[in-house]
Structure 1
């Protein structure tokens, strides 16, 4: 679950400049979006935000698996039957998703949407599903069965009943696209915060960096540290509100698409990198990989850093991050 409260988007102090920040909060893609732009006046700021909203709505119509008219739904309907020709934009997004799946050894997989719902995190579970039930739940999951044809821009899911979904990357992608559009329109600074998938550029109107707060996942009001965000993305994935516990093991609601078992060992993972799309996918992947494997993985990636809070509420960072404790 991407948690908007895990990232505090910005604060404004000090000198008054000719430009100001203008912010709007609304619901898009089924989630909370907080959009902030630096603009000359309120009318201009609202116009810019309207542009971003229209762009995000366009993307939702393209990638939503809930919209029966989307190209993604068309791909899913034809699983095991025939390839579906899609727009270049969607084709390239799926292509990048498969690359991330290969990079993470399947910890990230958009075919997770094929998974049977055998875990329930609403308090109704009284015992673990059987091993066979868990194994069968992921029988149709596997990025290797997503067949791309670059010549025809077609996508084919090999197994009947197989599905793809962009829940672990879609909001990050939408944030990136909204940011790119606003930059092309001359917006010098802003933030698109898609429920914790945060993409920032430029600076505040007072010339200061945008700031992100790293919070205690068990106490939203406690900030571990503030960090500047300079023309980059930050995504926090947190699972401390939806979980089940059996035999003293806390199972979070992010499921390993390779095994069908929920992730364990991590309360929240924050990823810093250039795009919200990549940060979104990697935040989910770190949960599945666990602390040690996840940290080792991130430390091998150029331009990617992470902050992990484990089940003991211990803060662990990748090699190139130094946290300065919050004094408040």
Structure 2
């Protein structure tokens, strides 16, 4: 999914931008205010926080907490860092809520065993914060919610340090917006997908004090989707995309990822159970009408 971001034409006393490569993508920060020195310090602290989260949850870093769990949890139960435990619990809740469409083990390669890998092979001891795997081929992967969590942490830091206007994104698919932008009417972004026929965007969104997550079944130029259906261990077939806004970036990421697996009809059904205070708006894009078509399942372009 492509997003055009408001990193130009900003005219306030202080305008600080930073970027960092993390979690396999590029994070960019734009902070606005009236104290350049303060915003610079906060921006550097935000970059440090992004690095810390990556080191905590990256399954590619052998020193990370997730890598330790994946190495040892099949042999014996592993006590988990409280921060990572809360993310695993969120993943477990999303797995139950979505009927398995969201699954923290979904990136595990398919094996020859008759029962495919799923979160059903993960045991959680809530009392002692311990995790165990029932099979050696089970691996946890927080990539589906990692960027959203990282942005939630940065958002918390920015608010604690009194930043009232900020726009931060990770890889053009996860966003947090603080304040209403330089004009006060919302941070304007343009939404598009790689597989649409028409040039330009499908919609312009106005974001104000909200997080956004976009999931696209075919976000890269390759023909094969990088999103796996946990029920089949196979990539998603036809192109589809879902984006949603809400107060929590990590919850938006979990929902938008699950929606790609569930499809439009199941997503609409699930939305009947989820309050607008959790998800303010949900948009769906597919090719059911020929070219890429946007349908609002909840809310609209200004959230």
TM-score (norm 2): 0.88
Query: Is the CA contact 2:204–2:301 (under 8 Å) kept in the aligned structure 1?
Result: no
2:131 maps to 155
Q: 1:29/1:74 Cα in 2 relative to 1: closer, same or farther (>3 Å)? A: same
1:187 maps to 163
Query: Is the CA contact 1:140–1:161 (under 8 Å) kept in the aligned structure 2?
Result: no
1:262 maps to 235
SS in 2 for 1:178: helix
Q: 1:70/1:241 Cα in 2 relative to 1: closer, same or farther (>3 Å)? A: closer
SS in 2 for 1:26: strand
2:194 maps to 217
Cα distance in 2 for residues equivalent to 1:35 and 1:302: 30
Which structure is higher in RCO with an 8 Å CA cutoff and minimum separation 6? 1
Unaligned 5+ segments in structure 1 are: 117-132, 245-250, 324-328
SS in 2 for 1:111: coil
Residue 10 of structure 1 and its aligned partner are, at CA, apart by: 2.1
Query: Is the CA contact 1:271–1:283 (under 8 Å) kept in the aligned structure 2?
Result: yes
1:197 maps to 174
2:72 maps to 78
SS in 2 for 1:314: strand
Cα distance in 1 for residues equivalent to 2:130 and 2:186: 42
Residue 256 of structure 1 and its aligned partner are, at CA, apart by: 0.2
1:36 maps to 30
Q: 1:53/1:149 Cα in 2 relative to 1: closer, same or farther (>3 Å)? A: same
For residues 220-258 of structure 1, give each alpha carbon's deviation from its aligned partner in whole angstroms, at most 9, with x where no partner exists: 9512222211211111122153554xxxxxx63311012
SS in 2 for 1:7: strand
2:104 maps to 110
Query: Is the CA contact 1:307–1:316 (under 8 Å) kept in the aligned structure 2?
Result: yes
2:147 is aligned, of 171, 189, 193, to: 171
Residue 90 of structure 1 and its aligned partner are, at CA, apart by: 0.7
Q: Does 1:290 align with 2:286?
A: no
SS in 2 for 1:33: strand
Query: Is the CA contact 2:164–2:179 (under 8 Å) kept in the aligned structure 1?
Result: yes
Cα distance in 1 for residues equivalent to 2:119 and 2:91: 9
- Of 147-156 and 100-109, deviating more is 147-156
Query: Is the CA contact 2:193–2:219 (under 8 Å) kept in the aligned structure 1?
Result: no
1:143 is aligned, of 119, 124, 139, to: 119
Q: 1:299/1:216 Cα in 2 relative to 1: closer, same or farther (>3 Å)? A: farther
Cα distance in 2 for residues equivalent to 1:84 and 1:167: 20
Q: 1:30/1:319 Cα in 2 relative to 1: closer, same or farther (>3 Å)? A: closer
Unaligned 5+ segments in structure 2 are: none
Cα distance in 2 for residues equivalent to 1:148 and 1:242: 38
Residue 100 of structure 1 and its aligned partner are, at CA, apart by: 0.5
Residue 137 of structure 1 and its aligned partner are, at CA, apart by: 7.5
Query: Is the CA contact 1:108–1:284 (under 8 Å) kept in the aligned structure 2?
Result: yes
Query: Is the CA contact 1:264–1:287 (under 8 Å) kept in the aligned structure 2?
Result: no
TM-score (norm 1): 0.81
Q: 1:34/1:178 Cα in 2 relative to 1: closer, same or farther (>3 Å)? A: same
CA-based RMSD: 2.4
Cα distance in 2 for residues equivalent to 1:264 and 1:317: 22
Residue 74 of structure 1 and its aligned partner are, at CA, apart by: 1.0
Query: Is the CA contact 1:115–1:138 (under 8 Å) kept in the aligned structure 2?
Result: no
Residue 47 of structure 1 and its aligned partner are, at CA, apart by: 1.6
SS in 2 for 1:155: strand
**Paired residues, what number?**
293
2:39 maps to 45
Residue 114 of structure 1 and its aligned partner are, at CA, apart by: 2.2
SS in 2 for 1:81: coil
